[in-house]
A and B are shown apart, each in its own frame.
Chain A
Amino acid sequence: MRPAPCRIGAAAGGAGARGERSRAPPPQPPAWAGQGRRGGRRALSADVRQAVGQPAGSRGREGRVSHGIAGTLLGEMALCAKKRPPEEERRARANDREYNEKFQYASNCIKTSKYNILTFLPVNLFEQFQEVANTYFLFLLILQLIPQISSLSWFTTIVPLVLVLTITAVKDATDDYFRHKSDNQVNNRQSQVLINGVLQQEQWMNVCVGDIIKLENNQFVAADLLLLSSSEPHGLCYIETAELDGETNMKVRQAIPVTSELGDISKLAKFDGEVICEPPNNKLDKFSGTLYWKENKFPLSNQNMLLRGCVLRNTEWCFGLVIFAGPDTKLMQNSGRTKFKRTSIDRLMNTLVLWIFGFLVCMGVILAIGNAIWEHEVGTRFQVYLPWDEAVDSAFFSGFLSFWSYIIILNTVVPISLYVRYVTSLPQGLPRELKWSHSKVFFSVKMHCAGLEHRALSEMLTACIPEAEGLQRGPVWVGHLPAPAPSLTSCPLCSVEVIRLGHSYFINWDKKMFCMKKRTPAEARTTTLNEELGQVEYIFSDKTGTLTQNIMVFNKCSIHGRSYGDVFDVLGHKAELGERPEPIDFSFNPLADKKFLFWDPTLLEAVKMGDRHTHEFFRLLSLCHTVMSEEKNEAQSPDEGALVTAARNFGFVFRSRTPKTITVHELGTAITYQLLAILDFNNIRKRMSVIVRNPEGKIRLYCKGADTILLERLHHSTQELLNTTTDHLNEYAGEGLRTLVLAYKDLDEEYYEEWAERRLQASLAQDSREDRLASVYEEVESDMVLLGATAIEDKLQQGVPETIALLTLANIKIWVLTGDKQETAVNIGYSCKMLTDDMTEVFIVTGHTVLEVREELRKAREKMMDSSRTVGNGFTYQEKLSSKLASVLEAVAGEYALVINGHSLAHALEADMELEFLETACACKAVICCRVTPLQKAQVVELVKKYKKAVTLAIGDGANDVSMIKTAHIGVGISGQEGIQAVLASDYSFSQFKFLQRLLLVHGRWSYLRMCKFLCYFFYKNFAFTMVHFWFGFFCGFSAQTVYDQYFITLYNIVYTSLPVLAMGVFDQDVPEQRSMEYPKLYEPGQLNLLFNKREFFICIAQGIYTSVLMFFIPYGVFAEATRDDGTQLADYQSFAVTVATSLVIVVSVQIGLDTGYWTAINHFFIWGSLAVYFAILFAMHSNGLFDMFPNQFRFVGNAQNTLAQPTVWLTIVLTTVVCIMPVVAFRFLRLHLKPDLSDTVRYTQLVRKKQKAQHRCMRRVGRTGSRRSGYAFSHQEGFGELIMSGKNMRVSSLALSSFTTRSSSSWIESLRRKKSDSASSPSGGADKPLKG
């Protein structure tokens, strides 16, 4: 037995879950409150908020649990599901349950399960039939049950349908069972609750809002708590929030001073403060509320909150007041549904499915009319032998019925399950306690065709290790996949999902995308987007952490007008990297970080000399930051870490902090500063300040921040210093360094008192607290005295320039969106080859007003126009503007780049200018936007998405990239230094930017190619299969007689033809991976969407129809006259069916063989296997044994032997196959020779090279004279001059061509070198045979 469960969550069969379905029952009168304090509480779920019908496996839903109260009257049967009105504000009084129960807040019982034994079947079926495909098939099934209509026996539909429904239901049931279990487990966790002055063990689910609970070290926080006091001094407490936001670093929370003294139970029991705060919401980083206690008001912020799902660390115990419980907690509020990204192929698919459906209806109508006419003309007279059904009284009605009959037998053309719905849900921030159960379920069902987990098996296992209480594992981010709608009904449909899943595994398993240093593999977090990776046209990249390593090194600084950090050699020249002398020796400082390197000894001298400014400079660095403790030195941002480390090495060692003090060792002596206020950093302020009182009692404000902001707020007296520092800043930025400006300000006592009061007021404000605080902060941070500036180097990641160059060659435009300074950004742009010296011009847009920006954009455009006009394009500018975007783009000759800063971008993104901006930007080869906010990043992406109809990819690593990642078609997260929010929001993640080229050029390209081939073939195959019925209709009185045996119809899609095409969809490749990296131009067909579009679709359909025509009429022609070799009849229906079916299977198999470009053992196995299975099943179905058992079901007895023994039949099959395949072969052959596309030529080259290599080897074997020379001659013969001269076969722009040539030539040289080393390694060895290839 389960331990006494929470009323709803766990009592699976209980009233709660039943209540879930009953909508809008009468609300309980609040007068009953108080009755059900403990045992009597019937918490019942209300409000199924997440609609039913989401795919199985990814349901993270919570039933909302209300503090329902039911008296003994209603007893167990009470169904009080109740929708609470949305809360306006929340009031919770400590230690006063009766008061709190008035509000009927949710209890701490969570419920993620959705069924119980009784409701399971109806609810689950209801959900499943919300799936378009399932309903469609149900509809067909109903049609088939009408005898007048039924053209196929019912089991052809019901078997797959029941199969699908059962599999899904079983999966849902297991899923739900585990959810019940985990709910139970979670709800029954013990926590210590303070009740009537005594600490009592309580289950989690019985914790109420307003309770005070005690947490111990390493315990999960049970609900959203207001921290009251803790074992640590000053009410500090450390938590790990990995469950919530994935950040593994520890965070500190602090009780407000008045409550932090409530250390023991007796005091706490008397605590009766009341908290008024915001209603439940899902913002993890915001909380505003007020504590009323003893007639005083105290502001509460997120800093005082412990959220459910966090783990208490390094803190012996703490007490907290429950504010939000159960489903109201931020954690549960965060697990909602998300909109899913779908690929453009998906969207195209939906259109096509509708078209095909229309086509089906058309065919149905044509045949129905045919039927009506036939029945009228022939059928009425044929009634002698075939009377009409009783119900049918007119030809018209018969036609109507046959319409439905034909809908049934022709429905195989409609790939209904390819129709995807856009919204599916996935739980995002489920707590581990919920999550792991999911993964377990996933694990158990992972063999299913649909609903698979995408994570590698090993991770799944990790996730499945039963949870030990409080035991910490590495974060298990089981990104739940949208379980694809499992419609096996016509299996190719789910095979789209299978193929995508396969591709995702390829990405996950790619060793070349595995980062050895961090031991992180690449990870496809969604399986639905793979083929879109092959179509990317625009990449939006973050700079820091994405292009760069985000490992910050304190490099230079400017203190009081003097710049330090450059190294000069004896002659006074700046020394270059590499010829630097030894870095300076910090051995005087025992606390110095050994890894810190600095080369300029003058700075250390200045410190030792006791230079006041230098001291103040480093003092600021050691004080003004939010780094937590000296041991861990865990900084929120790597910049801060770098600065604190620098200060530490120069003798200003940050030792420890308390909420009110900071202790610093200044050149060996410990000094404790009183910390009066921290004015924290945010994206708008772009600065942070601390106000400290030094031991002498002087109050000083230290501020560091972005130069643009800070330089405006300096005291006027320092103008000259400002100028020199600005010069230095420009110099630093020019070198690509990140700069910060430091300043300080002395405050006098009275002013501070008065300011502190105002700050308190502002922070207590209920409305627009943020704004008010900001203005208060703004006031004090003015007239500051400049101290200097720091410059931090952010090193470029490995392989970034190469990657960018390659992607550019692949015609992908890269836009860098960064928060950095313009100069820094431009510099990084140069260093990663986005900007090059060859560029005709780099436009810089820095205007501050709308007009300026417009003017600058116009000028840029004009310049581009000018040059293009000189090239000889006859259009005038005005005409250009009026014509479409594309014309401008195409007309531009030469390479341009655009740099735009945040100010201007804000204007450029306004509604009336965005088009202009886009036009200009898209005409440029590279675009860099600097000083942009996260929102602007998203806006830029949105802009391109909106107007360019191109596939966009956003890549970034930090929280500020999340919006951009979510906006773009594809979001890629770099799992780097800055937490993993970006990764969580992303669709793909890996650890280095350079893997992007592989992801796009190899995996993306292949995925796209495979998916396109798959879809083409899939349509072809189904049309070839189905349309035969259409033709047959004309010869069987439009009676909806099928051509094939019904078993063949049932099995055709599921067994005979699904696996080979699946193998092709998973494994096919046109050129090997090295080639697709070598020839980035190969990526272009994807961008232009050449491989699968409406045209291709019609070609496939046409081919399918052509095949079906032959498939019917050739056997028709043969059979009209034929007899068997023993004179008996051959032209009977059953033989005809077998002949057509056999030739269809053979033709389709030959076709897949032609389509497969890359043969693996699996391909062979599947294709031959399918054929073998076809014949095996055919003979089995036609065997005597089955007929003896079910004579009515297996009517084709003996047919296979009799038919397939006939030479005529085989001659027919061969003829059909040849006629169907020959045009395809001829067409492909012609295309290969007359209009080869790049992949063909690459493949051909490969072949030729192989051959020549073999020849070359041969030569070496015959006479070993001068293998080198022959190698040289060989390379000479195939020089690249010719390419540049000819080039007629390639539609490659001259520009790309030239770079292309250099690339391939270098690779060519490399391969030559390899070859040479080959020959060197086996010198004159007559013994060793040359290896293949």
Chain B
Amino acid sequence: IDYTGTDPSSPCNKCLSPNETPCVCTINFTLEQSFEGNVFMYYGLSNFYQNHRRYVKSRDDSQLNGDPSALLNPSKECEPYRRNEDKPIAPCGAIANSMFNDTLELFLVGNESDPTPIILKKKGIAWWTDKNVKFRNPPGGDIPLEERFKGTTKPVNWVKPVYMLDSDQDNNGFINEDFIVWMRTAALPTFRKLYRLIERTNDLHPTLPAGRYYLNITYNYPVHSFDGRKRMILSTISWMGGKNPFLGIAYIAIGSISFLLGVVLLVINHKYRNSSNTADITI
């Protein structure tokens, strides 16, 4: 579901003007089929060059790994998001600075007038290795995060400092999973990133029954300036990941081509075997 709001009729159109802060818009949609199993909620961006060379390198993995010296003295790669007002930025760099900060909420409209909010799970959306190996908060045991990040300042674009991303201590600071997901840069300019999990709670009920829903968006993230698009995607997965028509089509196509080729070659082989045989032997 595209909620960029370029279309004037879109409810989010109003958010394009910079004056509306904070801007909240709501988009209605209907699910034709019910979703069984776990459902994954993604946000998708297009025309967003997370794979640009200067963008990709603009981070400091030492800092993100909780290295205290790197925390206060971030790598040069982070320029120009290295220091702000003589304080080091944590997390530094263009990637962190441009972190996606829309808030999405999903409501099932159902039959009653009172919409039920869908429970969106924040944790478990990042790779295990990222969460447990690659990203670490600065050391300090029981000291509050705020103390540990002392001497740093928040990235320019951010509203809150890094230690206030979440109230849950296991999901705050550098190990905030939204942050981790964002920091894993995409390979292509059009990409989607996992936003929330919708876990199946009851075996009898589908996770998301068919029906009308609405999406409540706190619109913070401007993409309009560079023709970007924002989307929200709901998807289930199978053993080989998400829905992926390309692979299927490609396999079918290649399979049939191979089969045809095989037949043709077989025919050729039969036709020419005898003649070439004799020549071969005699030569």
Contact = CB atoms under 8 A, between A and B. Distances in A.
A389 interface: yes
Nearest to B47: A378
A1289 B282 CA distance: 11
B247 A378 contact: no
Interface stretch (A64-72, A494-502, A572-580, A1193-1201): A1193-1201
B187 to A, nearest CB: 4
B245 A1121 contact: yes
12 contacts: A386-B54, A1035-B189, A1037-B51, A1114-B250, A1124-B237, A1129-B186, A1132-B191, A1187-B65, A1234-B268, A1244-B280, A1289-B283, A1290-B279
- Residue in B51, B62, B197, B222 whose Cβ sees the most chain A Cβ within 10 Å: B51
A263 interface: no
B52 A1037 contact: yes
A1223 B236 CA distance: 36
Contacts of B237: 1123-1127
B30 interface: no
Given A386-B98, A1208-B241, A1215 B247 contact: yes
A1197 B241 contact: no
B240 A1036 contact: no
Given A1215-B251, A1234-B268, A1245-B281, A384 B40 contact: no
B281 A1123 contact: no
Interface in A1243-1270: 1244-1245, 1248-1249
Interface stretch (A942-950, A1161-1169, A1280-1288): A1280-1288
Interface stretch (A452-460, A769-777, A1133-1141): A1133-1141
A1250 B170 CA distance: 71
Nearest to B49: A1037
Nearest to A1215: B250
B276 A1233 contact: yes
Contact of B134 (A1036, A1039, A1187, A1279): A1187
Contacts of B244: 1118, 1121-1122, 1208
Contacts of A1091: none
Contacts of A147: 76
Nearest to A1289: B279
A1215 B275 CA distance: 36
Given A1128-B126, A1208-B241, A1192 B75 contact: yes
B80 interface: yes
A1218 B279 CA distance: 33
Nearest to B255: A1218
Contact of A1131 (B53, B192, B227): B192
A644 B47 CA distance: 97
A1238 B269 CA distance: 18
A1198 B134 contact: yes
B133 A1187 contact: yes
Contacts of B240: 1125, 1206-1208, 1211
Contacts of B191: 1129, 1131-1132
Contacts of A393: none
Interface residues of A, number: 85
Contact of B186 (A386, A1133, A1198, A1233): A1133
A1122 B244 CA distance: 6
A1245 B94 contact: no
A1296 interface: no
Contacts of A1222: 254, 257-258, 261
Nearest to B76: A147
Interface residues of B, number: 84
A959 B126 CA distance: 80
A1127 B197 contact: yes
Interface of B: 38, 40, 42, 47-56, 58, 60-62, 64-65, 67, 75-76, 79-80, 94, 97-98, 125-130, 133-134, 181, 184-194, 197, 222, 225-227, 235, 237-247, 250-251, 254, 257-258, 261, 265, 268-269, 272-273, 275-283
A993 B227 CA distance: 78
A908 B94 CA distance: 79
Interface string A260-281: 0000000000000000000000
A834 B109 CA distance: 101
Interface in A384-405: 384-387, 389-390, 405
A1036 B49 contact: yes
A1198 B254 contact: no
| 10 smallest beta-carbon distances between A and B, as pairs | A1198-B129, A1123-B242, A1136-B187, A1283-B282, A385-B98, A1039-B53, A1127-B40, A1041-B53, A381-B226, A1117-B246
A1130 interface: yes
Contact of A1192 (B60, B222, B225): B60
A1129 B254 contact: no
B282 A1121 contact: no
A1219 B282 contact: no
Contacts of B128: 1198
A1119 interface: yes
A1278 interface: yes
A1197 B127 CA distance: 11
A653 interface: no
A1036 B227 contact: no
B283 A1128 contact: no
A1234 B272 contact: yes
Interface in A1076-1125: 1079, 1114, 1116-1125
A1241 interface: yes
Contacts of A1039: 49, 51-55
B266 to A, nearest CB: 10
A382 interface: yes
B278 A1282 contact: yes
Contact of B80 (A390, A1037, A1119): A390
